[in-house]
Structure 1
Amino acid sequence: MTLPPHSSKAFAPKPFHWPNGARTAVVVTCLLENWSGDNGPPFSVQTTSLKPGTHDRAAMTWGYYGTRNGVWRLLKILNEHHAPSTFVANARSMEIAPDAVECILKSGHEVAAHSYTQDALMAYLKPDEERAMVEKCIGVFEKLTGAPPKGWLSPVLAPTASTEEIIADAGFLWYGDYNNIDLPFCVDTKKGMLVALPHTDFADHRVLRANPRDWFEVYKDTFDYLYENEPTSYLNITVHCHFGGRPLMAAQVDRILKYIRGFPGAWIVRHDELAQWIKDNRIAEWTNQKRFFDRQA
């Protein structure tokens, strides 16, 4: 089979495979979020909108559930299933719940950066403001964990054209603001290398006012398809501590982890550990693309 023209890059891709014969890499993303001041998320389970300018206390308290209760329930479920995961945290959430951060790390999970608050969006900032925001978050991590974060995911996946290089320049290992890729790979920026990690198309908020079982069915069907049809596939399972940590959603998190644990070729792995493997093996984007051409040849 003739490969596309851009295959003439100056490297020969190694056959792509996950370690230890794994068939599907599964990462679990738990978003630990808070909003600035007495604000809350611009959405909630409530369907009645308040008059413009009215403080939405229900939304505020709904958002605070994550640091108060949700993070603890998700930790319990993850630990019971021996599922190493990544908590992507607003730095403000870490300041509010330092005991949860300590427990996350002691349980063997990763904590990654997610701006300072959930409404501190990178898309609204100039490059120098973005750098200051990243440095502020790193400072919180160093104070509370003793080390800088290895990964960054922007709130609502709203980066700018500068964010990727700012993250690379700050020394991060992985960066997750990608909606156009299926598999992780190394990205060479002007400021250094990053590992690109795909995000999800179906976080728990998709069933906010629907049946939580739909969330389970989507991830079950997706996992089944990838496991059956695409060796060396990747699945990102995403929940928010303030919603996914509530019993009605946490029950589905428990179900999907129990289901996936029944497959010997499922590799449940932290974002940073997966990213380090990608970096150590210099997995490039073309390596990932080549597996599809090889299968169709």
Structure 2
Amino acid sequence: MKKFEHGNDRYDYSAIVTRPVYDWPQGRRLAVYFALNIEGFEFGRNPGNDFTSMPSAPYHRGYAYRDYGNRVGVWRILREFESFGFPLAVLANGSVYDVCPEVLEACRQRGDEMVGHGRTNSERQADMSPDAERTMLVEVKSLFERHEGKAPAGWLGPFISQSPNTPELLKELGWKYMLDWWFDDQPMWFRTRQGPILAVPYPSMELNDLPAYVNRGASDEEFTRMAIDAFDEQLQESAQYPMVYCLSLHTFLTGQPHRIRQLRRILSHIASQRHRVWLTTPGAIAEHVAGLPPGIVPIR
């Protein structure tokens, strides 16, 4: 078959209904994880839009809005996850270690997985030269090693942004999986010139509170309904094949007092089915898939 000039050669087409079937630990078929974005922004650099319009320089409104998440919102979210006994994947900017280390200390004490999420959420990898991107990745890896005692296994770029070189750099520098590519409900091997890296499902556009609330204008109740409906549907479908369910949260959005009650409804619903699912982290998911027999997860 002729390959289109601008075709994607990072992975092959594979229909989920025809793949080999495998189980998650304890014979479960639905892996469930929660991604909490804990981000730092540089004052004077545009942190992104909000519910009204794109802020103007010096962008104080957007900066203050997001800073609220690290000062107040995150503590509400951590309280709820502690109450339900659910693990978290903490997608942390390296700058958080400098501006609010207490937040990551609380996550560390809980035993949450720390996932690399850039140096700061005021820069995008797509805008970086190869040398600048490599330097940034090395800096972030070193920060995690110093504070956590080990390098992060996973990566999500700020703004879910990648350059053409990102997958190769991640593989070369020792990352085991990335969350930037959401093209499936199962983890898939992703080609790089340095060898394969695992793409673990992450809801970059759907069950992610930021695009839902800010870009699509979903109400709090609509997001809760989407989160619960998706969980119920995937739990039903998982009788046929393994799947990954993920909910992505931001401290300054879900950490608002009116949304904490919505989060509690979601967590309560999932907790009622915890005996049927694997409550886990993306790192554990990647480790399980890497240990499966060759050929179970497609790769060529």
TM-score by length of 1: 0.85
Q: Deviations over 1:123-152 (max 9, x none)?
A: 111222111110111122122222211110
Q: In the alignment, what sits opposite 2:208?
A: 203
CA distance in 1, matches of 2:294, 2:230: 24
**5+ long unaligned stretches in structure 2:** 1-11, 14-18
Q: In the alignment, what sits opposite 2:235?
A: 227
Contact kept in structure 2, 1:141 and 1:147, CA below 8 Å: yes
**Distance apart, 1:56 and its partner CA:** 2.9
**Distance apart, 1:228 and its partner CA:** 1.3
Q: In the alignment, what sits opposite 1:41?
A: 47
**Distance apart, 1:285 and its partner CA:** 7.3
| 1:130 paired residue among 127, 133, 137 | 133
| 1:237 paired residue among 238, 243, 247 | 247
Q: In the alignment, what sits opposite 1:268?
A: 279
**In structure 2, the residue corresponding to 1:84 is in which secondary structure?**
coil
Contact kept in structure 1, 2:43 and 2:58, CA below 8 Å: no
CA distance in 2, matches of 1:283, 1:104: 35
CA distance in 2, matches of 1:59, 1:25: 34
4+ long deviations beyond 4 Å: 282-288
Percent identity of paired positions between Structure 1 and Structure 2? 24
Q: Deviations over 1:53-111 (max 9, x none)?
A: 54232211001122212222211111111111101011112321212111101102111
Contact kept in structure 1, 2:182 and 2:200, CA below 8 Å: no
Contact kept in structure 2, 1:32 and 1:242, CA below 8 Å: no
Is it true that 1:95 corresponds to 2:137 in the alignment?
Answer: no
Is it true that 1:256 corresponds to 2:256 in the alignment?
Answer: no
**Distance apart, 1:186 and its partner CA:** 3.5
**In structure 2, the residue corresponding to 1:25 is in which secondary structure?**
strand
Is it true that 1:281 corresponds to 2:289 in the alignment?
Answer: no
**Distance apart, 1:114 and its partner CA:** 0.8
Residues 1:172 and 1:258: Cα distance change in structure 2 (over 3 Å): same
CA distance in 1, matches of 2:65, 2:72: 11
Residues 1:258 and 1:284: Cα distance change in structure 2 (over 3 Å): farther
Contact kept in structure 1, 2:114 and 2:152, CA below 8 Å: yes
Letter aligned with residue 119 of structure 1: S
Is it true that 1:21 corresponds to 2:27 in the alignment?
Answer: yes
Contact kept in structure 2, 1:85 and 1:271, CA below 8 Å: no
Residues 1:284 and 1:100: Cα distance change in structure 2 (over 3 Å): farther
Residues 1:139 and 1:88: Cα distance change in structure 2 (over 3 Å): same
Task: Choose 144-153 or 202-211, whichever is displaced more.
Answer: 202-211
**Distance apart, 1:225 and its partner CA:** 1.0
**Distance apart, 1:195 and its partner CA:** 2.1
Task: Choose 224-233 or 154-163, whichever is displaced more.
Answer: 224-233
Contact kept in structure 2, 1:91 and 1:140, CA below 8 Å: yes
Number of residue-to-residue matches in the alignment: 275
**Distance apart, 1:266 and its partner CA:** 1.7
Contact kept in structure 1, 2:88 and 2:112, CA below 8 Å: yes
CA distance in 1, matches of 2:152, 2:54: 37
CA distance in 2, matches of 1:99, 1:56: 25
CA distance in 2, matches of 1:86, 1:249: 20
**Distance apart, 1:49 and its partner CA:** 5.8
Letter aligned with residue 204 of structure 1: D
**Distance apart, 1:258 and its partner CA:** 1.1
